[in-house]
Amino acid sequence: MAQYIVQPGDNPTKIARKFGLILAQFQQANPGLCEYGTNHCQVLFPGQILQVTGTVTGQPMGIPAQPVSFNAPPPWMQIAIMEQGVQEWGSGKDNPRILEYLSSVGIGGSLLKDETAWCAAFAFWCLWKSGYPGQKSGRVSDWWGWGRPVAATYGAVCLLQPLTVDQASSGHIGFLHAMDDKNVWLLSGNSANQVRISAYPKSKLIHNAPYRWPF
């Protein structure tokens, strides 16, 4: 068994092939990374350390001595994970945590209530709390040109078109957690009125650079 440091653009299938493994063997060497027997895997992040066996096929890997990026989930993703379960209260009461998200992007007055769309405010709050710049706006469409475009990377800000024909919506935003052939799995706010991990169809990704990074 040997260690492999994830590089930008890597995914489980790609790494397995480079080491002459089938995906099932790679899954066995890295329990918890994928749902066994399926292609539903967490998105890898550069610098992540995985276990591999076998010999490299094709070109040499050029494995660096040090990780090229975070050797842990991005700081904003760690914060978002801790917020899972925050939800709207209903019954005329507002969850003060959601009001904190909304206030962080300057939303106040009559709109400062947990029924106001808050997915973009949640994304900004997580980035801000971790010390990274976000787009200080509660509208998803204002994030389309924010940061820099990247390949699908664990923790990347992921931008979706409106999920319904409701023209009042500017889309949905969350942090990329996993993906399969048809869906992206986002950790996001205001997903069924709460912070949770949920699947969204890839067909709803914005067409121009849907994955963004703060630096």
CATH number at residue 191: 3.90.1720
CATH number at residue 13: 3.10.350.10
- Predicted local distance difference test score (pLDDT) of residue 140: 96
Select from 19, 158, 35 the least CA-distant residue to 27.
35
Residue whose pair of structure tokens reads 């067909």 in the numeric block: 203
Residues 48 and 80 in one domain: no
Domain endpoint, select from 19, 37, 52? 52
Residue 70 is assigned to a structural domain of this protein: no
- Predicted local distance difference test score (pLDDT) of residue 61: 39
- Predicted local distance difference test score (pLDDT) of residue 68: 35
pTM: 0.72
Which residues touch 158 (CB under 8 Å, ≥6 apart)? 173, 174, 175, 176, 184, 186, 205, 210, 211, 212
Beta bridge partners of 87: 194
Residues 131 and 80 in one domain: yes
Q: Which domain holds residue 95?
A: 75-213
Low-confidence ranges of the chain (pLDDT < 50): 56-70
Residues 45 and 80 in one domain: no
- How many domains is the chain partitioned into structurally? 2
**How far apart, in whole angstroms, are the C-alpha atoms of residue 167 and residue 22?**
45
Query: By the 8 A CB rule, do 155 and 135 touch?
Result: no
